[in-house]
């Protein structure tokens, strides 16, 4: 059985210049167990990130960005902020803005929902986004608890190597291999090798998604901005 997700302290940030989006999502915050903030411009979003990102260094907090690409465009070519990359992003846009919306989706948006949106649909998407993020946090914590040798053992197990082959590759006894396997199964809460494969695949996917572009930029109106430079704007 795959590990259960942790219930974290949740926050929704709505980045949209249409106040109706924020008001609608605000009605959902209580049932989602989430706080909610609102910014209406790229400048305000940059300022919010500068002032609040330290709050999310604690892994017990979950964050979801609901954004209109008119406010901030997150593109696949690397124009993305390091902080935003770590959390699910839901793109909301009107059907007339197809090109910008597609760029945001290709950049890894968790979901797209067309304006005007159904609150029932938005609630479902937000709950799925939070739940998946919380599940990912649980997996990261479990894999980060593994020792270097347990990680090496895990990598060989998921590649399909037998205990004997792992013993030979790692130059350790089969008894030690079995001990490493027992520890990594216990620490990841995997009930079978199939469970371990799924968890490892999810963990690898999380690591890939958190690979940062060196620029760490936000884009709006063709201009690029780097959070942390508020005083220079």
Write the CA distances from 95 to 72, 98, 140, 195, 205, integer angstroms. Answer: 17, 6, 37, 40, 30
Residues 43 and 147 in one domain: no
How many domains does one find in the chain?
Answer: 2
The pTM (predicted TM-score) of the whole model is: 0.68
Q: What domain range includes position 51?
A: 9-138+210-232
Do the bridges between strand 223-225 and strand 89-93 make them parallel or antiparallel, or are there none, so unpaired?
unpaired
Query: Closest Cα to residue 142, out of 203, 209, 208?
Result: 203
Residues 89 and 154 in one domain: no
Residues 180 and 86 in one domain: no
Residues, the chain, total? 233
Average model confidence (pLDDT) across the chain: 81
Residues 218 and 202 in one domain: no
Residues 132 and 35 in one domain: yes
Residues 54 and 98 in one domain: yes
Both structure tokens of 90: 């839901």
Q: Answer yes or no: is 1 within a domain.
A: no
Residues 101 and 159 in one domain: no
H or E element, residue 225: strand 223-225
Tell me the range of 121-130, 189-198, 212-221 where mean pLDDT is highest.
Answer: 121-130
For residues 99 and 50, the model is more confident at: 50
Q: Answer yes or no: is 90 within a domain.
A: yes
Residues 18 and 89 in one domain: yes
| Burial classification of residue 40, based on how many CB atoms lie within 10 Å of its CB (0-12 exposed, 13-18 middle, 19 or more buried) | middle
- The span from the CA of 225 to the CA of 42, in Å, is 9
Q: Answer yes or no: is 116 within a domain.
A: yes
Q: Answer yes or no: is 2 within a domain.
A: no
Residues 108 and 158 in one domain: no
Query: Closest Cα to residue 89, out of 76, 107, 102, 71?
Result: 107
Residues 110 and 148 in one domain: no
CATH number at residue 68: 3.40.50.2300
Biggest distance spanned by C-alpha atoms of the chain: 64
Query: What pLDDT, in 10s, does the model give residues 129-188?
Result: 998 888 887 888 888 889 999 999 999 999 999 999 999 999 999 999 999 999 999 998
pLDDT for position 17: 94
Residues 108 and 193 in one domain: no
| Cβ atoms 55, 9 nearer than 8 A | no
Write the CA distances from 132 to 4, 8, 13, 138, integer angstroms. Answer: 10, 11, 17, 10
Query: What pLDDT, in 10s, does the model give residues 92-121?
Result: 988 766 777 777 667 678 888 999 999 999
Residues 83 and 105 in one domain: yes
Residue 60, SS3 per DSSP = coil
Backbone φ/ψ region at 220: left (φ over 0), alpha (ψ -120 to 50), beta? beta
| Cβ atoms 144, 138 nearer than 8 A | no
- The span from the CA of 12 to the CA of 29, in Å, is 8
Backbone φ/ψ region at 151: left (φ over 0), alpha (ψ -120 to 50), beta? alpha
Q: Answer yes or no: is 53 within a domain.
A: yes
């Amino acid at each position: 059985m795959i590990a259960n997700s942790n219930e974290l302290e949740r926050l929704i940030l709505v980045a949209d210049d249409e106040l109706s989006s924020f008001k609608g999502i605000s009605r959902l915050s209580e049932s989602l167990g989430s706080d909610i903030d609102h910014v209406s411009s790229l400048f305000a979003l940059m300022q919010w990130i500068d002032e609040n990102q330290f709050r999310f260094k604690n892994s017990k907090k979950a964050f979801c960005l609901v954004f209109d690409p008119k406010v901030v465009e997150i593109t696949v070519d690397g124009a993305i902020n390091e902080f935003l990359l770590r959390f699910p992003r839901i793109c909301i846009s009107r059907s007339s803005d197809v090109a910008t919306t597609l760029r945001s989706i290709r950049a890894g948006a968790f979901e797209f929902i067309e304006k005007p949106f159904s609150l029932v649909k938005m609630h479902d998407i937000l709950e799925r986004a939070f739940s998946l993020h919380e599940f990912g946090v649980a997996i990261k914590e479990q894999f980060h608890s593994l020792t270097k040798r347990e990680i090496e053992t895990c990598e060989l197990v998921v590649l399909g190597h037998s205990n004997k082959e792992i013993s030979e590759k790692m130059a350790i006894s089969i008894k030690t291999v079995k001990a490493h396997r027992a520890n990594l199964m216990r620490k990841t809460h995997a009930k079978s090798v199939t469970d371990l494969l799924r968890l490892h695949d999810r963990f690898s996917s999380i690591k890939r998604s958190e690979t940062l572009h060196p620029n760490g930029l936000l884009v709006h109106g063709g201009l690029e901005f780097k959070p942390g430079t508020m005083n220079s704007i």
